[in-house]
Structure 1
Amino acid sequence: MITASFTIARGLGPLPRMLEAARGAPAVARVFHAEGVPIEIASNQHQKLPLRSLMALMERGAREVGDDLFGIALGGAMRPEDFGPFARYMLAARDVRSLLARSTRAITYHQSGTGFSIKVSNDLVWWGYRVVEPISIGRRDHIDHILKPMLNGLRRYLGDSWVPSRIEVEYGRPKWWRELEDVFRAQVFFDMPTNAVVFEKRLLDRLALRPIPLGQLITGRDLRQLVAERPPRTQAEAVREIIRLRLLDSIVDIDGAAILLGIGPRTLQRQLAGENYTYRELVEQTRMERALALLRETAEPVTAIALSLGYSEIASFSRAFQRWTGFAPSRYRCRSGP
């Protein structure tokens, strides 16, 4: 049983850059440190992280900047390529109907705990987005951040001047609701069952107005990457992703991992035991995977690799590496090549 939903780090988009531009580099450090997420994740876009962490970073960013529309600004600043192969697959659709259908299929490869939906009633279509996991912090900012790219995606088929019939959101009406309507260029309905862009049914067969640039066309490699980035489906897989994430800060303690998963350390240990793992085993496996990759693919000194994996002494790393592979780290590097 997996206890947390996951997404891809590229979903952060320009959040670090926006924070730095508005409040400086210390603000970026404050926001990421407060959430326990390594700031290095901004340059590791293939890394997975809990959806709750992504949403919390958005809310903390909004508070730091003092902007109630921060989520919308973030979503509006994101280009299709910022979402990776998931978005390119969607936008390669021939028409609006196919775009919506692709969104419902592809979202499970980008993140878990969310979903797109399509509802047709009379002359209207509801293209909905929902967050299944009961996450409260950052929920509104995250919803705003998704709705803007949804609108931008539809405008590839319907034109830049097109406006929806209305926007529906699950959250209550805020004080700045008129500003929301100005940004969305449509009436917004609050306290609705889901979050949706609502438009006329007759538009479903509209073809793309702008051809996708060659550099953005979906390829077989992109599709393989999309499948490879699928969110974890077991608790052991989820813990491995948390360990990979926290190794960006060279830390691997179980308490911090449990916090990011939204559970207690004992609960985490019990869940892993149910899958025949211990936390220590997963740390060892993940460290070994990372050590082998660094020794094969980089010229980074062995001492630096040991420190990056959370070892306080190179001797401890060397003993562990000898146990894993039968070789000393330097000997393994000589055999494998840089």
Structure 2
Amino acid sequence: MTTASFTIARGLGPLPRLLEAERGATAVARVFRAEDLPIELAEEQNRKLPLRSLMALIERGAREVGDDLFGIALGSAMRPEDFGPFVKYMLAAGDVRSLLARSIRAIAYHQSGTAFSIKMSDDLVWWGYRVIEPIGIGRRHHTDHILKPMLNGLRRYLGASWVPSRIEVEYARPRRWRDLETAFGAPVFFNMPSNAVVFEASLLGRAAIRPIQVSQVVTLSDLRQLVDERPPRNQVEAVREVIRLRLLDSDVALDGAARVLGVGPRTLQRQLAQENHTYRDLVEQTRMERARALLRESAEPVTAIALSLGYSEIASFSRAFQRCTGFAPSRYRCRSGP
């Protein structure tokens, strides 16, 4: 069974803000709605979401704005560490060689279905990034928004004015390819096997120009403790994550979840059946997980909690909650205490 690749929504960076500045708040809502994603995701960027959804939002955002360099603009507006703990771990590397090695080790803590790579010749290094899973949607602007922070990460070691020997990309040469070269500050080679920043091998030993403070260092042990941030490793985990995501919109319909995962509803049901699960059961389990947390840790009224979980009436929620826990919601809250 194929498991959908997942990533952390912070990879969107300032996309909602850029869209709103160019086309207004309605454009942001339109782009998210077109991908069956809740607009609340724009403010909840620690959430996991399918990689194909993140890529689609970026590509659709580029079309909405009509900017052939949208991915570059998005990547330029992001500091490398904006991608989260896995990049902070990378930037704690002592030199360029270690930075590249850490990227290969750490990417799994941020997203699945992708890989960093290192290739070397006598005098050149290719630091590559590619999407392994055949996702079947455009990926040009997503590629650009990754390559720009990679370039800026290297400049932490090689200086703000440093430029690579060249940039290589998988996609075909676009209309404004000369502007792309200007934005990257280097020649761009198109239709290549992978996306890569190419630079001189003699730079691998360069140390960070301004090392980060010890208090800000993220170690591999720190990353391992963030196991809850790791992308889902099977389709049941993937479906649970999509249900959690869509609960932001109080919408747990099967059809929408299947679209987000890039499969048909019947295919999704069949995949879950192979793992002895049903979509309805996963919805109920995920709802109850969220309900227990809200009852323990918030003062939200029970009615508001029920509606937020997609129940049309409080009686249905109360029955489901009592069936799951043995307690009525109000009684559970009293037992949990402050």
Common fold by TM > 0.5: yes
RMSD over equivalenced CA pairs, Å: 1.4
CA distance in 2, matches of 1:225, 1:46: 16
Paired residues of 1:58 and 1:138 also in contact (CA < 8 A): no
Using the alignment, how far apart are the partners of 1:119 and 1:301 within structure 2?
A: 57
What SS does structure 1 have at the residue aligned with 2:204?
Answer: helix
Look up the match of 2:82.
Answer: 82
The residue that corresponds to 1:237 in the other structure is: 237
Q: Which residue of 2 aligns with 1:201?
A: 201
The one-character-per-residue Cα deviations of 1:234-284 (angstroms, maximum 9, x if unpaired) are: 110000001001111001111111111111111111111111111111111
Q: Deviations over 1:274-310 (max 9, x none)?
A: 1111111111110011001111111111111000100
CA shift, 1:79, in A, is: 1.8
Give, in whole Å, the separation in 2 of the partners of 1:136 and 1:253: 24
- State the one-letter code of the partner of 2:6: F
Other-structure match for 1:190: 190
The alpha-carbon deviation at position 225 of structure 1 amounts to 5.2
Write the distance in 2 (CA, Å) between the matches of 1:216 and 1:322. Answer: 45
For the 8 Å contact 1:75–1:146, the answer to whether it is kept is yes
CA contact (8 A) 2:3 2:233 kept: no
In the other structure, the counterpart of 2:155 is 155
Offset of 1:2 from its aligned partner? 3.4
SS of aligned partner of 2:198: strand
Once the two structures are overlaid, the 10-residue window that deviates more, 176-185 or 35-44, is: 35-44
Residue matched to 2:100: 100
Q: In the alignment, which residue of structure 1 is the partner of 2:42? A: 42
Supply the distance in 2 between the matched residues of 1:185 and 1:227 (Cα, whole angstroms).
37
Tell me what 1:310 maps to.
310
Using the TM superposition, give the Cα deviation of residue 220 of structure 1 relative to its aligned residue in structure 2, in angstroms.
7.8
Query: Contact 1:109–1:231 (CA<8 Å) still a contact in 2?
Result: yes
CA displacement, residues 129-164 of structure 1 (integer Å, 9 cap, x when unaligned): 111122243400110000000000000000001000
Q: Structure 2 matches for 1:259-338, cutoff 5 A?
A: 259-338=259-338
- Could you report, residue by residue, the CA deviation over 1:20-73 in whole angstroms, capped at 9, with x for unpaired residues? 111111111111011111011122222111111101100111111111111111
Instruction: Give the Cα–Cα distance (whole angstroms) in 1 for the partners of residues 89 and 226 of structure 2.
Output: 9
In the alignment, the residues of structure 2 paired with residue 93 and residue 313 of structure 1 have an alpha-carbon distance, to the nearest angstrom, of 54
Distance in 1 between residues matched to 2:297 and 2:224, nearest whole Å: 22
Write the distance in 2 (CA, Å) between the matches of 1:81 and 1:184. Answer: 19
Counterpart of 2:218? 218
The structural deviation recorded for 1:227 is: 2.6
TM-score by length of 2: 0.97
- How many pairs align? 338
Q: What corresponds to 2:2 in structure 1?
A: 2
Instruction: Quote how far apart the aligned CAs of 1:76 are.
Output: 1.1
State the AA in 2 paired with 1:182: T
Name the SS of the counterpart of 2:115 in structure 1: strand
One-letter amino acid of the structure 1 residue matched with residue 42 of structure 2: A
Matches within 5 A, 1:3-42: 3-42=3-42
Identity %: 81
Please state whether the residue corresponding to 1:202 is helix, strand or coil.
helix
Note the residue ranges of structure 2 that are not aligned, 5 or more in a row: none
Which 10-residue stretch deviates more, 177-186 or 129-138? 129-138
Q: What SS is found at the alignment partner of 1:199?
A: strand
Is 1:145 aligned to 2:145, yes or no?
yes
Offset, 1:206: 0.4
The C-alpha deviation readout for 1:168-212, integer Å capped at 9, x for no partner, is 001111110100110111000001000000000010010000121
Are the aligned partners of 1:71 and 1:142 in contact in 2 as well (CA < 8 Å)?
yes
Amino acid at match of 2:300: E
8 Å contact from structure 1 (residues 239, 257) kept in 2? yes
Matches of 1:286 and 1:210 in 2, distance apart? 45
TM-score (norm 1): 0.97
Tell me if the contact between 1:96 and 1:154 (Cα under 8 Å) persists in the aligned partners: yes
Once the two structures are overlaid, the 10-residue window that deviates more, 79-88 or 165-174, is 79-88
The whole-number CA distance in structure 1 between the counterparts of 2:311 and 2:241 is 19
Change (3 A) 1:312 1:303: same
1:252 and 2:252 correspond? yes
Match of 2:116 in 1: 116
